[in-house]
Amino acid sequence: MKISLIVNGKPAVVDADDAQMPLLYALRDNLGLHGPRFGCGLGQCGACTVHVDGKAARSCVLPLASVAGKKIVTLEGLGTPAKPHPLQKALIDEQAVQCGYCINGMIMQAAALLQTNKKPSEQEIKAALAENLCRCGTHVRIVRAVKRASLAV
């Protein structure tokens, strides 16, 4: 069955045997977008976060059929190496990345926050990222980077 989506501003069609397969699989395996990561596969770590119609969502637990026709933005749609999103630049400036596994989720969750709250307080940033897990323990630098990015936009 073919499911149509808008991915990073362009129409995309996923040919899937099972329309209940997670959106994450379609993005990574069918569309070759490797920004979203497979962490827990249970909606608990945030590594797979994307935006669906402007809101942060965990793509590992979203059936493909449930997002038919919706606008999906992945990390690839936020910025490029030549033109990074302010959050990407701030994470580099703060040297906030260790292994990097959680960073897709941190960026996508923080980007959703900045869309609704352009100048969040440290507490608001911590609350927004509370459900995004980082096994390297670089949370303090990530929060600092989100604050820095908020001052740049």
**Residues of this chain that bind ligand FES (CB under 6 A):** 38-41, 43-48, 58, 60, 97-102, 134-136, 138
In the complex, the smallest distance separating the C-beta of residue 62 from ligand FES, rounded to whole angstroms, is: 9
Please, which residue, 4 or 95, has the CB nearer to ligand FES? 95
Cβ proximity of 9 and 77 under 8 Å: yes
Q: How far is CA 125 from the centre of its chain?
A: 15
Q: What angle do CA 27, 30, 36 make, to 5 degrees?
A: 20
Please, which residue, 70 or 101, has the CB nearer to ligand FES? 101
Q: Rounded to 10 degrees, what is the CA torsion of 55, 8, 46, 116? A: -30
- Tell me the DSSP string of 119-139: S--HHHHHHHTTT---TT--H
Please, which residue, 30 or 101, has the CB nearer to ligand FES? 101
In the complex, the smallest distance separating the C-beta of residue 96 from ligand FES, rounded to whole angstroms, is: 8
In the complex, the smallest distance separating the C-beta of residue 22 from ligand FES, rounded to whole angstroms, is: 8
In the complex, the smallest distance separating the C-beta of residue 120 from ligand FES, rounded to whole angstroms, is: 20
